[in-house]
Amino acid sequence: MTESMNGITIRPAVEPDQATIREMVRTERLDPTALHWSHFVVAELPDEGIVGIGQIRPSPKCRELGSMVVRRGHQRKGIGGTIIREILSHEAGPVFLETEIGNVTYYARFGFVEIPWYQTPMPLKAKSGIGGLLARLFGYRLTTMRWDRVESA
């Protein structure tokens, strides 16, 4: 558990958080698959409850950062970044993510680099390929990114 300077507590999700996780993901129209509370961390404020979530979606061949949501009214306060740093602090790498093209600069701050979708392992490769085609139909452009742990000297 991590507590930040602004009173936000970052903690592993627990089973009673499942309904909130599903609601937050659906509200933002994110990928509703593989939403198991045990893969999530949550950001909490004492008087408001959960204000942010994020997960590492595990699969046999890769780990994917996903379901990053910060409630409206709490965005642009560093909550998402705190969640990402907490999640990545427990990862050995690599970690992949799929995001809208406009978010590349944001995730680059944490060490993610844009890669061609075909360089991602299965099943993310299939998801990215199909998702990218569907997104274009609705006017979105998705990209895939990769993070590798860099040990400091």
Domain spans, the chain: 2-147
With vertex at residue 91, the alpha carbon angle to CA 84 and CA 10, rounded to the nearest 5 degrees, is: 40
- Superfamily of chain region 2-147: Gcn5-related N-acetyltransferase (GNAT) (3.40.630.30)
Mean pLDDT of the chain: 86
Model confidence at 70: pLDDT above 80: yes
Tokens 């909550």 sit at which residue?
79
| Rounded Cα gap, residues 112 and 95, in angstroms | 9
The pLDDT value given to residue 8:
92
Query: Is 1's pLDDT higher than 80?
Result: no
Q: What is the pTM of this model?
A: 0.86
